[in-house]
Structure 1
Amino acid sequence: MAEAELVFHTNPMSRGRIVRWMLEEVGVPYRSVVHAYGEDMKSPAYLAINPMGKVPAIEHRGVVVTEAAAICAYLADAFPQAGLAPALDNPLRGTYLRWMFFAAGPVEAAVTARSLDRLPPPEKAGFVGYGSYEQTMDVLEQAAASASPWLLGERFSAADVYVGSQVDFGLAFKSIPDRAAFAAWAARLREREGYRRAKAADDALMPPPG
């Protein structure tokens, strides 16, 4: 692999869909490697890339990056010409990081716990970073409602890709409530050309039904 080549490890039925959308927004060439669940992802060759045996992952400039949020943040900083992350001295950087980490932390944890029927009782809410599922959804709704049209105002960013993907997936799989602010933001996201290209590419990789 050439050091500068960008290699994208994915599966169309995974969070790799988030990263493909981000790659399409960045607009740089990349090579996709699709891994099947099971032996492929747990093979020694792939475990040398990601010891968790999961996708997505990217290889770029001799560095491996895993975790969808980290990949999105990395790509935004590695390709500043795409304008998908505020500079370090831009006051919007704080808002950008806030929502990226909120989605990767409380939102992901709360949705997963609810899906597994493992939400803590109210008296134990202080033990988990998200407090309660309801509180997390309320705060996420505040973010969606403030997206006018995007989380950083007129500027589309990697935060819209990552946090917006959580909302988009959540609406589709009913893991987040169907609220007007979520639906309106998701509708705007789905109109993005990068979103549409990524969805078409991943849908084409899906196994045939039946």
Structure 2
Amino acid sequence: MMTLVFYTNPQSRGRIARWMLEEVGAPYDTVLLGYADSMKAAEYLAINPMGKVPAIVHDGHVVTECAAICAYLADAFPDAGLAPPTTGRADYYRWLFFAAGPVEQAVIDRSRKIEVTPEQGRMVGYGSYDTTVDALEAAVKGRSFIAGDRFSAADVYVGSHIAWGMMFGTLPKREAFESYLAGLTARPAFQRAHQLDEQAAAA
């Protein structure tokens, strides 16, 4: 029998992986880690040498990094229908990794008050914060899903970035973002994941 173990902290990017796990619907065990202790302990560093969460171990195989976890789970549990057919994955891969690369980098630099000059914009992957945000807005404007006409793992990842960004002010509250996110956060799996993380945080 295959096993699935989820390592997380409820106040972390682990919330992205939790949502994805709930969408998949497969049973999993949760291991809660603390930033200052168990996350840096030898036992967990053997799983993720970065000492960061989330991570999953599926039947002995370790997967880290939220975008990778989302993509992996979609493929590992195809019956959940969270990845488009392989012939229709252009937008799926494009926006999944756009959020993992340019969006995350632009948001982190912005929060650290790092100003990118036009000349430096040629070097950094996201070019400029404004260009990145505008591209993200264009990708979701007037759409329920980021890739095709159905929900996918890319929506878990992109939607999580938009939700966190608007919550913490690292992304602007634009109508397109709010409209796109409204449909995602109404999903039962999102609600279950949110409740589980809130309960874990309270404990």
TM-score, normalised relative to structure 1:
0.94
Match of 1:164 in 2: 159
Distance of 1:174 and 1:189 partners within structure 2: 19
Q: Number of aligned pairs?
A: 203
Is 1:176 matched up with 2:171?
A: yes
Match of 1:21 among 19, 22, 26: 19
Is 1:122 matched up with 2:123?
A: no
Change (3 A) 1:117 1:106: same
Matched to 1:98, the amino acid is: R
Match of 2:192 in 1: 197
Distance of 2:111 and 2:98 partners within structure 1: 18
Is 1:188 matched up with 2:200?
A: no
| SS of corresponding position for 1:96 | helix
Match of 1:58 in 2: 56
Deviations 1:91-115 (A, max 9, x none): 2x01100000000000000000000
| SS of corresponding position for 1:9 | strand
Deviations 1:42-84 (A, max 9, x none): 1000000000000000000211000000000000000000000
TM-score, normalised relative to structure 2:
0.97
Distance of 1:51 and 1:153 partners within structure 2: 36
8 A Cα contact 1:110 1:119, kept in partner: no
Identity, in percent, stands at 56
**Offset of 1:124 from its aligned partner?**
1.3
Instruction: Show structure 1 runs of 4+ deviating over 2 A.
Output: none
Is 1:45 matched up with 2:43?
A: yes
**Offset of 1:120 from its aligned partner?**
1.4
